[in-house]
Amino acid sequence: GERPIYGATTGFGALVGYAGRPDEADQCDNTLAHLGAGQGPDLPHGIVRAALLVRARSLAQGLSGVSAEVVERLAAMFATTFSPAVPRYGSVGASGDLVPLAYAAQALRGRGHAYADGRRMPAAEALAATGLRPLALDGRDALALVNGTSVTTAALALAHDTVRTAHRALTALTCLLADLLGCDPGFLDADLLRAYGHPGAVDTGTRMRRHLAGTTPSGTRPLQEPYSIRCSPQLLGAAEDALRHIDAVIAADLAGVSDNPLFFPGVGDPVHPDPAEGRAVHGGNFFGQPAAFAADLLASVTAQLGNLAERQLDLLVDPARNGGLPPMLATEPGVQHGLQGVQLATTAFVAEIRRCAAPAAMQSLPTNLHNQDIVPFGTQGALRAHDLAEL
């Protein structure tokens, strides 16, 4: 007989050895209903809508076997304010983001809850309010909507964008601090940084020299500045290299197909391939390990940028080290308290970032009757990275 197709003619996960439901609508219900076990607060609208954009991009490549209508209806959603209500907790990052994406798929069908114009309501009402029709799915459509790492990729991409902005700002603020204190810019020497051997440091040093062009050292500073100034191009440069790597991971995930199985056309005429030559290939393209590693790296970068900013603030407000500026930069110390509250809050923020920066990708636990005997936990890592970036 014909070879079974996972999710279309079979059960799911550990129950793949059993037959699925013969009716396509029932198979869709079978796919989505058992995944409705998410917990916690709703994810931010930006992450949910970005995840569906990533999903549409993956499905549009034509290897998931979904109907064109699914992609078209996903695209139509972005012209409205519709956003599915998706609980934060429930994904292990392989077989994709099953639980959160199941909530999104159900909302598109008019089940569960969703947002319209920022208001939470039953999904059927949100669809009506935004002029959308409930999406009809068969079993393959339903599985393809949920069997990918789109939530992980979306959260990681948004977090990366925020941290990239913070990195640029901290680079500029480091230069402002060096100028304010009258530091000698020798720590940015081009030959020095080329000898260091890391491209991020070379490029960061170039940007910092441009920022400081035309400034004059005070001549009263120590021979060597504290590390938070002197080693800033090395630290910020390492962050630059890490952010470039993370960007490459995100780009690969956005360009790739995250699903299982994939359907490859025949080898005949590219316009009219012979369907008899087509293949359904079962594998693990839903396994979000690259994004999991990248999310942990992004959290580490965020924490170290926070450490640098906190140490530079401490240098700025300390009269013993800031070149004679008043304590806490208060114009009338005692009558005014300057940046004292800002420093307290900064210390709390950095402590929270450091507390949450522990790696998620190594937390694998076997599940699903040992079918999923190792998982990447990239979703937790990416959502955590997004939380830290927002701090």
Reference 153, options 37, 251, 38; nearest CA is 251
What is the per-residue pLDDT for 4? 83
Name residues whose C-beta falls within 8 Å of residue 349's C-beta, 6 or more positions apart in sequence: 306, 391
- Token representation of residue 250: 């995100």
d(Cα 93, Cα 286) in Å, to the nearest integer? 8
* pLDDT at residue 277 tops 90: no
End-to-end CA distance of the chain: 57
Instruction: Give me the residues paired with residue 279 across strands.
Output: 264
- Catalytic residue positions? 6
Q: How many CA atoms lie within 13 A of 53 on its CB side?
A: 16
What is the per-residue pLDDT for 31? 87
- Domain boundaries in the chain? 13-147, 155-256+263-390
Interval 5-30 mean pLDDT: 83
d(Cα 133, Cα 6) in Å, to the nearest integer? 28
CATH number belonging to domain 155-256+263-390: 1.20.200.10
Per-residue pLDDT tens digits for 58-74? 999 999 999 999 999 99
* pLDDT at residue 54 tops 90: yes
Identify the residue whose tokens are 């392989």: 94
- Does the domain spanning 13-147 belong to CATH 1.10.275.10? yes
Reference 184, options 230, 228, 227; nearest CA is 230
- Token representation of residue 360: 């998620």
What is the per-residue pLDDT for 287? 96
Interval 108-120 mean pLDDT: 98
Q: What percent of the chain has pLDDT over 90?
A: 85
- Token representation of residue 19: 């037959």
Interval 29-38 mean pLDDT: 93
